Structure 1
Amino acid sequence: MRATSSRNRRATLPLAAALLVLAPAAGACDGSGTAAAITRLTVGDPGPDAFAPVPQSDTTQLVRAAKTGGTKPADTPGLYGGTRQASRCDAVKIATFLRANPAKARAWAAAEGITPDRIDAFLAGLTPVLLRSDTLVTNHGYADGKATGHTAVLQAGMGVLIDRYGAPVVKCNCGNPLTAPPAKVSTEHARYTGTAWPGFSDRAVTRIAPRAPEKGAVTSFVLVDPGATSGFERPAATTGAQDGPPVPVPPTATVEGQGTGTATPAPGDSGSPAPGDGGATPSGSGPAVAPGDSATPGPGTTGPAYPGGTPTAEPGTGQDTGGQEPGGDPTAPAVSLAPEGTPGSASAPGPEPEPPVAS
């Protein structure tokens, strides 16, 4: 009897050891053997520990990109959105706030890897855009005199400032520094906190890969208007005044399901198009843009010089040609939203955010 028990113990030891080795893999996401914690941050919500609250920099009135999830190159045409010839992501207001708060300025600069005296120049070199997909970042709040980094997902429609390599570096509605998310974090095996918005899926969370420095900085970003009816070029480090004319939506940024769903507008949202918004078409009232289709440019307009060399313009046709966006989750729901509310002017930080508008 004792011999049998001894054999059983020896037989079970290798199995137990194997289970101990395999156990962390089921939830390992942050290199520590435990599932990573990711905070969901919704449009219009500055989140806790904001550096410099700046309302009216986000929008609920946005048609998401058709394919999201995986890793996307930052210079992909149509990866980001924006309102042509307009922006409410106020980098000047963020810089002014930080100058008036030296302790926050020191912490903010440290998170961005610069010295406090370079904050103004750093912010002046950024470009305001809108996220067109739920995006994974490291969000840095301010607590106990220093910047505190946490992995977060920013909801599509949120305004961010991107650098010349296309990386999101500032969250507009709170002024928080943004850096790349941890490489080992898996969005599909994470523990999520914060409110889940309609259409959220851990498989549809996008990582943005900055352009490699050896390829040179991006000189112009191809954005898509909130209604996904047209694209336009925005030169790097400009805020809308130098935006190019409307052009077809890049094939890499085509949308699906337009007119199939409407998000609840923010409180006070009137549903009227914002002045200077480039004439975004209300969901369901204009021509739907099916995958692979492109809007017809106006007379005399030409396609943009897309960064990265794709897609290219077909000579003599004015129509864009190009391949499918790499990666992503083809089953992720595309959300079509109503036209954005009539905005007021951006106000100083206050307790109640204004209605969101596009960047």
Structure 2
Amino acid sequence: MRSPLRRTRRTPTALREETAALRKETAGLQGRATGLREESRLRDGALIAGAAVVSVLALAGCSSGGTGAGSAGLPLAAPAQDVLLQSAAAPGPDPFTASTVRNTTRPSEPAEVPEGRQVREVTGSTPGLYGGTRAVGSCDVERQVSLLTGDAKKARAFAEAAGVPEAGVADWLRGLTPVALRVDVRVTGHGYRGGRAAAHQAVLQTGTAVLVDQYGSPRVRCAGGNPLRAPAAGRGGVHVGVPWDAFDPDHVVVVRPTGTVVTSLVIVNATDRTWIERRTGSDGEEDRKPAVEPSCDPDACTLEGSGSATPAPSTPDRPASPEPVPPSQDPPAPEDPTGPAPDPYTEPDPDPYPDPSTEPLPDPFDEPSDEPPAPPDGELPPEELFPPEAVPDQPETFEAFEG
């Protein structure tokens, strides 16, 4: 018995047409799937970008409690504006090395700054900007070299932050001068985080031991081995950390490097408050008294922005300078109760304009001379000055008046 389902015999042409249709439909489905995947990727990217914008706006609208660290030269959002207050002895966040500050370093009295205005920049060679102890460096330079060169990864990060070749870190450190700050200084510090140097803005407290280069700029903070650079151009920002008792934002100084290499620095001896001349690149073993000392006492000097130390205006024991005499006036003669003042001129010039009250009057009864009087030396005869005129006759005698 035959089955009720009859098989339809397809021709080869019909099979080929069906196969082509299936392939076309499959290609369309694949194209649609690709479009859906691309649409999904774009939608996800837009969501991520929107989230990033929201995060930046949130950071800009609130204050961060961190240090604002970031890679040098790349501006960040609000945290980059924070300025870390670093006390003299504390290692600070993310130190490069252990402290290399010598225990013999004594705290230095802060330098004076002008009142009534902000001192933003002081040249690195200014006398009294730095202090220290005679014949003793504020930092152990050789220990700093050993701590850095013992870790190749750390030395590489230090060299990158300091702007020196990695192979020359040791020689560069040995060419610096160990001193101590005598004023609060604004710098760009660098911490060691995640194998790299992270930059941050900081204020270093008076008394901080630093290594100074041959242009008078602080380059290493010895309490944590952190490399130092010039501060960011925008010197505003929020101070974070614990301020010290004498901290005053208006008296924070930025050290400006000198235009030429300096061979020595004039610093203040923290032991006896005297001047010391320390050769740059030395550890203090060649300290000596300056050949020409500043004109003011170390405790009375005021740091000026011009790069000089001037006497403070309130110094009571300095004699007042005499008032200058104008060049058009002669100095007053000293009073002498016993007689007239001596004439300071040995051969005075003749006075071309004599006082008529001091000249003797001519006697009217004298007979006139036949010869005209000779004119004084250097003067022209009267006839050459005025034209000749008729002169009336003069009486020979005068009649006396009767009483």
1:202 counterpart (249, 256, 266) = 249
Aligned partner (choices 176, 191, 204) of residue 238 of structure 2: 191
Cα distance between partner residues in 1 of 2:75 and 2:298: 36
Give the structure 2 partner of residue 43 of structure 1.
Answer: 88
SS at match of 2:287: coil
Question: What are the within-5 Å matches in structure 2 for residues 273-292 of structure 1?
Answer: 290=300
Give the Å deviation of 1:57.
Answer: 4.0
Partner of 2:108: 62
Residue type of the alignment partner of 1:181: P
Q: What residue identity is the alignment partner of 1:211?
A: T
Whether the 8 Å CA contact 1:82–1:130 is kept in 2: the answer is yes
Q: How does 1:277-356 map to 2 (within 5 A)?
A: 290=300, 323=310
Q: CA deviation at 1:56?
A: 3.6
* Contact 1:233–1:244 (CA under 8 A) maintained in structure 2: yes
TM-superposed deviation, 1:246:
6.9
Q: Within 2, Cα distance between the matches of 1:105 and 1:131?
A: 25
Select 2:221's aligned residue among 154, 171, 176: 171
Q: Which residue of 1 aligns with 2:336?
A: none
8 Å contact kept, 2:106–2:270: no
Q: 1:253 to 1:46 in 2, by over 3 A?
A: farther
| Of 164, 178, 186, the match for 1:136 | 186
User: CA offset at residue 92 of structure 1?
Assistant: 1.1
Change (3 A) 1:179 1:57: farther
Would the alpha carbon gap of residues 201 and 323 (structure 1) be closer, same or farther in structure 2, given more than 3 Å must change? closer
Contact 1:76/1:252 (CA < 8 Å) preserved in 2? no
What SS class does the counterpart of residue 151 from structure 1 fall into?
Answer: strand
Match of 1:357 in 2: none
2-structure distance, mates of 1:60, 1:243: 17
1:84 to partner: Cα distance: 0.9
Aligned partner (choices 93, 114, 135) of residue 85 of structure 1: 135
Partner of 1:89, secondary structure, is coil
Letter in 2 for 1:238: S
Per-residue CA shift, 1:284-309, capped at 9, x if unaligned?
xxxxxx458xxxxxxxxxxxxxxx9x
CA distance in 2, matches of 1:67, 1:88: 23
Q: 2:238 & 2:296 partners in 1: Cα distance?
A: 31
Contact 2:218–2:229 (CA under 8 A) maintained in structure 1: yes
Q: Quick one: distance in 2 between partners of 1:248 and 1:122?
A: 30
Q: 1:211 aligns with which of 230, 254, 258?
A: 258
Q: Distance in 2 between matches of 1:157 and 1:52?
A: 19
For 1:301-349, what per-residue CA distance to the aligned partner results, in whole angstroms no more than 9, with x for missing partners? Answer: xxxxxxx9x87xxxxxxxxxx7459xxxx9xxxxxxxxxxxxxxxxxxx
Take 1:126 and 1:252, find their aligned partners in 2: how far apart are those partners?
Answer: 27
What fraction of aligned residue pairs are identical, expressed as a percent?
35
2: CA distance between counterparts of 1:252 and 1:150? 36
For the pair shown, the structure with the greater C-alpha radius of gyration is 2
Shift in Å at residue 174 of structure 1? Answer: 1.1
The Cα shift of 1:234 comes to 0.3
In structure 2, the partner of 1:305 is none
Report the equivalent of 2:383: none
Corresponding residue for 2:364? none
Tell me if structure 2 keeps the 8 A contact 1:54–1:90: no
SS in structure 2 of the partner of residue 157 of structure 1: coil
Structure 1: segments with no counterpart, 5+ residues:
1-23, 256-289, 293-307, 312-321, 331-359
Q: Does 1:241 align with 2:291?
A: no
Whether the 8 Å CA contact 1:63–1:227 is kept in 2: the answer is no
Q: Does the residue aligned with 2:159 lie in a helix, a strand or coil? A: helix
**Please, which of 276, 288, 291 is the counterpart of residue 232 of structure 1?**
276
Query: What's the secondary structure of 2:139's corresponding residue?
Result: coil
Distance 2:210 2:283 in 1: 12
Matched AA of 1:219 = T
Question: 1:181 aligns to what SS in structure 2?
Answer: coil
Q: Which amino acid aligns with 2:85?
A: R
TM-score (norm 1): 0.59
Structure 1 residue ranges, 4+ long, deviating more than 2 angstroms after superposition: 30-36, 55-61, 245-255, 322-325
User: Are the structure 2 counterparts of residues 253 and 157 from structure 1 closer, same or farther at C-alpha, using a change threshold of 3 Å?
Assistant: farther
SS of aligned partner of 2:233: coil
Matches of 1:132 and 1:224, distance apart in 2: 9
Q: Aligned to 2:286, what secondary structure does the other structure show?
A: coil
1:146 aligned to 189, 196, 210, which one?
196
- The amino acid across from 2:244 in the alignment is W
For residues 31 and 108 of structure 1, what CA distance do their matches in structure 2 show? 20
What SS does the aligned partner of 1:54 have?
coil
Distance in 2 separating the partners of 1:40 and 1:228:
29
> Deviation of residue 226 (structure 1)?
1.9
